[in-house]
Structure 1
């Protein structure tokens, strides 16, 4: 997976060479993020959100009328 992100980072840098200043900055920022993801153990990968707390089932056991 590291090689995948490194390739994307390089592609973004190549595109940035011929881009206008605004797009160049965005592409270089993107390349930097891909570089962080490409380093093993850097924590740059995507993490799952914490599990949601389930409400007590007693809240749902009523007759359904308000």
Structure 2
């Protein structure tokens, strides 16, 4: 029953994506993939490049060189 629910949501989101602008379409299709995963379906599509890892420390060049204290 839960599987059918998520499949229905995924299908509804995909139909909305067909009418959306490119940015919204990409986000809606990503949402549909997540619903498919919850419903137990795996769909393979075009792979997207992962986001870069956020920097946690400032670059070393900030700490090098003479400084005033």
The Cα offsets for residues 7-60 of structure 1, whole Å up to 9 and x where unpaired, read as: 0000000000010000000000000000000018xxxxxxxxxxxxxxxxxxxx
The number of equivalent residue pairs is: 41
User: TM-score scaled by structure 1?
Assistant: 0.59
Where do 5+ consecutive residues of structure 1 fail to align? 41-66
Where do 5+ consecutive residues of structure 2 fail to align? 42-69
User: TM-score scaled by structure 2?
Assistant: 0.56
RMSD: 1.8
User: What is the rounded CA distance, in whole Å, between the counterparts of 1:11 and 1:20 in structure 2?
Assistant: 16
Q: Which residue of 2 is the match for residue 30 of structure 1?
A: 31
Dislocated runs of 4+, deviation >4 Å: none
